[in-house]
């Protein structure tokens, strides 16, 4: 790997809050904001050059437990934590920094840090890096899952991921992916029950658009839709991260393109709830 500034220079909010998964969430934000990997603090900026967004968009053809966002986070984790972290030759200049890095990461993965990293000699430590590379890479899945759990409830980030995938989806060709509805448009597919349940739980039984309760014993007519936050017609996917809960009225309005914009904040409205 190319030489760059040392890790000690890297001061970002997660250094105070701690947690490798939170670090990964910030990495995603940098990526979505088109900022370099470690912020603009060094003499060199590293960019996320080879992120395969097409693979993420294709993942969103259907609702899968390993979502498009999982795939994106995995790639970012591999870049930042493996290629420019664990496997970074810069660490050879500062073995202590490597020891702190690797110990923190293994802990956050829930893996016991291999002893050699804690008390080995310089040569032993950097030889052991190869031995334990597979375990480290496997552990990244845990950090991806933790980061996903944080992002799942952070709607603006989900929306930003969808917006990032949108031009990619729109550029897909049916000649290459014959299950597309047509060029640039993913086919509608049935939403698995587990996705419906997770979206209802996350959105706390409230319509994403108007905030009304849609499913509760207190509601006269229990009826809800699962909406594509970014419509399929506009480069949206069937990825679980692109679904929101909607009431029938809002769903209809949206279908008729009468919904001007998605509100970012709502004041709860109980007019749909029976008085009691
Ligand atoms: Zn509504």
d(CA 66, CA 72): 10
Please give the structure tokens belonging to residue 141: 């899945």
Give buried/exposed letters for 115-150 (b at 16+ CB in 10 A, else e): eebeebeeeebeebbeebeeebbebbebbbebbbee
* Confidence tier at 242 by pLDDT (50, 70, 90): very high
Cα-to-centroid distance, 59 and ligand 1 (Å): 29
Residue 51: CB atoms within 10 A of its CB come to: 17
Portions of the chain given CATH number 1.10.30: 185-255
Handedness of CA 8, 11, 14, 17 (dihedral sign): positive
Please tell me the distance between residue 204's alpha carbon and the centre of ligand 1 in angstroms. Answer: 13
User: For residue range 63-117, what is the model confidence (pLDDT) as tens digits?
Assistant: 999 999 999 999 999 999 999 899 999 899 999 999 999 999 999 998 999 999 9
Between the CA of 32 and the centroid of ligand 1 the distance, in Å, is: 28
Ligand 1 midpoint to CA 252 (Å): 9
Q: How far is the CA of 225 from the centre of ligand 1 (A)?
A: 10
pTM of the model: 0.83
Which of 9-23, 167-181, 222-236, 242-256 has the weakest average pLDDT? Answer: 9-23
CA–CA separation, 148 and 232 (whole Å): 23
185-255, CATH topology level: DNA Binding (I), subunit A (1.10.30)
């Amino acid at each position: 790997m190319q030489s760059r500034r040392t890790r000690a220079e890297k001061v970002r909010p997660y250094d105070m809050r701690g947690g490798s998964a939170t670090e990964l969430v910030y990495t995603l934000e940098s990526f979505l904001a088109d900022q370099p990997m470690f912020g603009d603090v060094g003499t060199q900026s590293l960019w996320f050059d080879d992120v395969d967004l097409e693979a993420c968009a294709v993942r969103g053809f259907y609702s899968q437990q390993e979502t498009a966002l999982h795939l994106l986070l995995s790639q970012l984790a591999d870049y930042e934590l493996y290629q420019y972290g664990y496997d970074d030759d810069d660490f050879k200049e500062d073995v202590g920094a490597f020891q702190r890095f690797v110990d923190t990461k293994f802990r956050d993965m829930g893996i016991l840090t291999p002893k050699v990293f804690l008390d080995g000699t310089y040569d032993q430590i950097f030889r052991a890096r190869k031995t334990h590379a597979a375990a480290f890479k496997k552990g990244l899945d845990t950090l991806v899952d933790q980061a996903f759990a944080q992002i799942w409830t952070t709607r603006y980030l989900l929306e930003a991921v969808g917006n990032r995938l949108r031009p990619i989806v729109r550029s897909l060709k049916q000649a290459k992916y014959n299950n597309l509805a047509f060029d640039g448009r993913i086919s509608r597919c049935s939403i698995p029950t587990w996705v419906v349940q997770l979206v209802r739980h996350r959105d706390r039984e409230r319509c994403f658009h108007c905030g009304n309760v849609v499913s509760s014993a207190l509601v006269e007519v229990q009826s809800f839709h699962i909406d594509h936050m970014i419509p399929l017609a506009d480069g949206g996917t069937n990825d679980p991260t692109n679904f929101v809960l909607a009431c029938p009225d809002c769903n209809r309005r949206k279908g008729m393109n009468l919904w001007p914009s998605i509100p970012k904040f709502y004041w709860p409205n109980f007019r749909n709830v029976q008085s009691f």
